[in-house]
């Protein structure tokens, strides 16, 4: 839940989630709609799907136990190097480092070397004796993350408070490296077409071609090309929506109709028991202004 999401946003979701699913087994018995409904509003829904798929796999193939090798952990859906190392540290107290952007920056600064010039694997491997000097390896994994977030921050590192400031090359150097810039936001333009009924309903389908919204209930959505739109569709408004590092510029159109294409279903604009992603909820809000 914490991936790309602030702690204060996550807390109520986490509490609700762990209250309902107290064990791996109970989670593994849930279905995707239930999990997505609990995740509603938190975004990045792939995390929820991967979590459920991982729970099912752990119950089915690992007898409810969490694997204790990196190789097995990496077989869980959505788990790559970073997460696998973090889990090995947190769960098994294994001496390891979860290399995310924050941690890479700490090493690069300490050596005053560009991140692209650091061979992190070799560096960690050849410094094991100096790095893993505690039995509290799970705390060490967490501590490095916190250190990157609070002390050796992306901007204005707090060198005067840093326990490494006596040996840090970045601090001593007159030619300090520049740390990696944040990823650029990519702007994309879409037309969204909503079938709307007089009963305050909107037609949604999972059959859309937009990769990052795959398998979600959405109205018809198309990349804006020359923006010539059939005049059956009425323009409602233009608005912006951000997803991850994408900024979506959206022109929203609507058409009152009682007939909808086969793959669509009607959804109430006000009251839905089913999971509706935040992206679609924003469309609901705009369309509601028609009534």
Buried b (16+ CB within 10 A) or exposed e, 177-186: bebeeeeeee
The residue among 70, 91, 85 whose CA lies nearest residue 144 is 85
Least CB distance to ligand SF4 at residue 166 (A)? 9
Least CB distance to ligand SF4 at residue 167 (A)? 9
Q: Which is nearer to ligand SF4, 98 or 105 (CB)?
A: 105
Q: Which is nearer to ligand SF4, 74 or 169 (CB)?
A: 169
Return the structure tokens found at 35.
Answer: 């999990």
Q: Of the ranges 42-50, 73-81, 166-174, 225-233, which one interacts with ligand SF4 (CB under 6 A)?
A: 166-174
Rounded-to-integer distance, Cα 92 and Cα 48, Å: 23
Q: Which is nearer to ligand SF4, 170 or 267 (CB)?
A: 170
Q: Are 264 and 203 in contact (CB under 8 A)?
A: yes
Least CB distance to ligand SF4 at residue 242 (A)? 30
By CB under 6 A, tell whether 157 contacts ligand SF4: yes
Least CB distance to ligand SF4 at residue 95 (A)? 21
By CB under 6 A, tell whether 171 contacts ligand SF4: yes
Site track 255-284 with ligand SF4 (rule: CB under 6 A), x = hit: ------------------------------
Residues forming beta bridges with residue 266, ordered by sequence position: 203
**Collapsing DSSP states into helix, strand and coil, what is residue 238?**
strand
Q: Are 236 and 254 in contact (CB under 8 A)?
A: yes
Q: Which is nearer to ligand SF4, 34 or 165 (CB)?
A: 165
Rounded-to-integer distance, Cα 23 and Cα 25, Å: 5
Rounded-to-integer distance, Cα 90 and Cα 84, Å: 10
Q: Of the ranges 91-99, 157-165, 197-205, 240-248, which one interacts with ligand SF4 (CB under 6 A)?
A: 157-165
Cα angle for residues 173, 176, 181 (degrees, 5° grid): 160
By CB under 6 A, tell whether 162 contacts ligand SF4: yes
Binder to ligand SF4 among 90, 94, 110, 120 (CB under 6 A)?
A: 110
How many residues interact with ligand SF4 (rule CB under 6 A)?
14
Q: Are 269 and 201 in contact (CB under 8 A)?
A: yes
Q: For the chain, how are helix, strand and coil distributed in percent, rounded to 5?
A: 40, 15, 45
Q: Of the ranges 58-66, 156-164, 211-219, 223-231, which one interacts with ligand SF4 (CB under 6 A)?
A: 156-164
**Per-residue CA distances from 278 to 128, 195, 216, 217, 275 (Å):** 44, 19, 11, 11, 9
By CB under 6 A, tell whether 151 contacts ligand SF4: yes
Q: Which is nearer to ligand SF4, 16 or 176 (CB)?
A: 176
- DSSP label at residue 158: -
By CB under 6 A, tell whether 109 contacts ligand SF4: yes
Binder to ligand SF4 among 159, 188, 210, 224 (CB under 6 A)?
A: 159
Compute, in degrees rounded to 10, the torsion defined by CA atoms 171, 174, 180, 186: 130
Q: Of the ranges 30-38, 68-76, 165-173, 183-191, which one interacts with ligand SF4 (CB under 6 A)?
A: 165-173
Q: Which is nearer to ligand SF4, 36 or 152 (CB)?
A: 152
């Amino acid at each position: 839940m914490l991936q790309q999401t602030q702690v204060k946003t996550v807390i109520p979701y986490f509490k609700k989630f762990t209250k309902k699913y107290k064990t791996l087994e109970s989670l593994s018995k849930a279905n995707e709609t239930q999990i997505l409904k609990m995740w509603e509003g938190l975004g990045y829904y792939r995390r929820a799907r991967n979590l459920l798929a991982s729970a099912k796999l752990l119950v089915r193939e690992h007898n409810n136990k969490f694997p204790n090798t990196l190789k097995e952990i990496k077989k869980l859906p959505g788990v790559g190097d970073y997460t696998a190392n973090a889990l090995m540290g947190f769960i098994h107290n294994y001496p390891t480092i979860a290399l995310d952007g924050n941690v890479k920056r700490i090493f690069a600064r300490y050596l005053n070397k560009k991140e692209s010039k650091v061979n992190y694997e070799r560096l960690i491997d050849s410094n094991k004796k100096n790095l893993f000097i505690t039995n509290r390896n799970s705390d060490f994994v967490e501590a490095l993350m916190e250190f990157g977030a609070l002390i050796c921050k992306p901007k204005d590192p707090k060198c005067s408070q840093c326990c490494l400031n006596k040996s840090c090359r970045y601090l001593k150097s007159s030619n300090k490296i520049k740390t990696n810039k944040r990823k650029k936001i990519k702007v994309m333009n879409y037309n969204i077409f909503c079938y709307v009924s007089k009963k305050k309903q909107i037609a949604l389908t999972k059959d859309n071609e937009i990769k990052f919204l795959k398998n979600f209930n959405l109205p018809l959505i198309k990349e804006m090309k020359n923006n010539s739109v059939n005049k059956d569709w009425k323009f409602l408004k233009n608005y912006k929506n951000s997803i991850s590092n994408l900024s979506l510029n959206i022109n929203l159109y609507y058409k009152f109709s009682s007939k909808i294409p086969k793959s669509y279903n009607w959804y109430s604009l006000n009251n839905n028991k089913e999971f509706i992603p935040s992206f679609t909820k924003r469309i609901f809000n705009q369309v509601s202004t028609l009534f």
